Structure 1
Amino acid sequence: MDRRITELVNLTKTKFGLDNYFLQRHSLRRNVNIFNETIYTLSMEWFPNHVTVPEDDDSNPEGTAVIDINVTTRKYESVIFVMGKTYVNNGVTFAGLDRNDMIKWIERETGLTYGKQFQLHKEEEGRLLFNECMDGIAVSPSGSIEIKLDNEGRLTFFSVLGQFPSKEMVKAEKYTLTFESVEHLAKEQLKLVEFPSFEQEKLFPVYAVEEVYVANENTSLISFEFIEDVRSYQKIGETIHWDEPVDKPFDRKEVHWLEEATVEQAFTLEPSPDSFPITKVEKEKCLLTVRELLRQDYPKDTGKWILKTLHRENGYINAILRMSNQTNRVFKRKLVIIIDPKSFQAVNYVDNKPMLEMFDHFSPPEEVTITREEAYEKIKDKFEINPYYVYDFDCEQYVLCGKIDCEYGVNGSNGEIVALGDL
């Protein structure tokens, strides 16, 4: 074992009191965060000493400690004791399950400040869940911190998910948006959508708000879809056409995800291939690849698909396509084509059509008798606009926005106000 890995292993054993454990497995992996930085993580699986490990068994028995640490910062990303069982004697413990002690420990471990960068979202006995924030304002993409204890106050779960940006990455400004100032934009977000009821196996026509972020500075719109997916995309927006189909069907191949990293890659902070921008030449090659696959497996669909975006993921380039004429259902048709970035051959693809077909036997929606204007008047007082710091991939900064949202909708067939969470 490399001495640098040994050092991290020993640090972990001491910190979490793993004297009754042995290191069964460890591995290095890497991922790219939204800032396009490559993060290397050492993942360790510690087994209790009394466990007998069968050969060829990759499962983790009760009480196993699965611990991930950032190789560079030496901050722990997650600590999970399987099934909430721990055999630690002198580990991380909180007498009396004291909330303040737990918060102070989190601050020490993460270097974050409570109330400024994370705030309490939910509290249960032996469990605290926090949301990421910036000066008390919610952040998007969102992050969270969670901690769980057993009845004796011993740590059984800890995880940190999110970016938790420094102040330098935040564009400071005073929040000035009001609903009145963006009402014209809010009204445009009210869309007629067919919501499925699995209980009744029926589709309901509902006017509902399509969530969107409005920039505080210039009231420009930032799509909720791209922000919440926590990934940098190259927007394309090109409709794919062809004259002749291809008779030979596409041959799907196995996808080999690039997950594990080497010690040298980790300690030299070698950039992941996923962090590289997609060049103009690569974009053109991807367009040809997408067209070729559609000609093979969707021969009659010329002009029906739009290549929305390209992005790198797990060593491949993913092309995301949407139908040009979508239905107004909640779930939209989507096609993801996985492309080898060296050969620019399609490796595989995922079409969500089989999932959408489950709604084919649902009863169709009733006739719409309410106009959008009428629906808007019914629920405009239920609209919300709340401040958010949203990461802008173009300017590589967090910008202050207002999130337009509404938890209610209007049934287009009878005008009743409905809670969307109940559908």
Structure 2
Amino acid sequence: MATSLPKLTRDAELETLSSRAAENVRDPDHWAPLLKALSNPWSRTNTTGTIILGIAENTLMHQELAEHITSHFTVSPPEHLTYGNGPQGSPRLRKALASFFNARFEPLQQTKAEEFIVTAGVSAVIDELTWCLCSEGEGILFPRPLYTGFRNDLPIRSRGKVVPVSFRREDGGVVLDDLFDAEANLRCLERGLSEAEKEGTKIKAVMITNPHNPLGKCYPPATIKAIASFCAKHNLHYLSDEIYAMSTWRNPNFPDATHFHSVLSVELSHIIRPEMVHVLYGAAKDFCANGLRLGVLHTRSETLRRAMITIATFAWEAYLIQDCWARILEDDKWLKQFLTESQKRLSTNYGTLTSFLDQHSIPYYKGGNAAIFLWVDLRRWKTEDAITEECLKAGVMVAKGTNFVPEELGWFRLTFSTQKEVLEEGLRRLTESLKKFDG
């Protein structure tokens, strides 16, 4: 009987891969801790399961969305079971997106269907944008704290570099409101660009999340103009991730909080060329549909669109799924009711979370009126790792601030866009975990 060959060691097996694949394998697994928590979620019939407050997922309108998709789902063989019109996106969806943007984002110049490219999620948009804008090792500036997914989306395949921009003041202090201040952005972006160039990193763009992730606030027009002027001065692309654009509400405790302004709605024609301004959007957050994997880029640059189409095959979303979203966008009456109710429920849950934190003297970043999470200050307790571990033991998953490249350690991002009973039980488990560190 023939003897089986010995199994390769991990290092030997890595040598059979490309250098980039081997590097990805050596890096910490981005999904491992999430998959472990997601494998045993809490429910009424599984009360010992894990409550997820650490992932930016909005479940508040799942039932309404599922009912609409189920009752309107159709399959048209010529349109849905062939290559259709290619990887740029379903003509029906791109037309619906143009109408949606024109109605909801209030662009100064009307958007057109041909200006949109559809992909399998916003992560795919970021990957394709990075590939098109950055050669290997070139970077994009991000004000910090920043959305943790960028640290995976830019380098993992396209080999772009995330370059965090510090907003720390000259006296060493950190004021989170500075991220939304025009003068602070000009000062800090200039400093960040200079430091990156000194380290040998060529910068190709600035990306912001508006509304901001993880701070949950919107950028005022004056700051959007300041960022645009910085980009124009240095011939950089302005990338505006607006995936939470419709997840905004009025905060009764801060009625003057800046409401959402798309970069498309701000007068920038005298500041930056429109071909250098690009908007990212998707169905995941505002439409409570992370699992549909629908992302979109709006750009007025024909050259960038052509470049992205050359690689769009690798993130080509099924036309069946694209037209599910198109039907939702076309149903004006239902869409208005859906977004209004979603915003109402987000506002209610935001109030539930902030009231709970106030009652337990847990500080947080105040003044939010957007997105589906809150930036919470747990610095007076133990280290982030200790708190995270204790919370998992208690059956609640939270997102530690380190993942968001903050200026100060000890902050956490808590998601509140889940059912009330789930949120309340998660908060109970959180406070029980924190009590372990008191005294």
Classify the TM-score, shorter chain.
under 0.3
Which structure would you say has the larger Rg?
A: 1
TM-score, normalization by structure 2 = 0.20
Q: Which structure shows the bigger proportion of residues in helix conformation?
A: 2
Q: Which structure shows the bigger proportion of residues in strand conformation?
A: 1
TM-score, normalization by structure 1 = 0.21
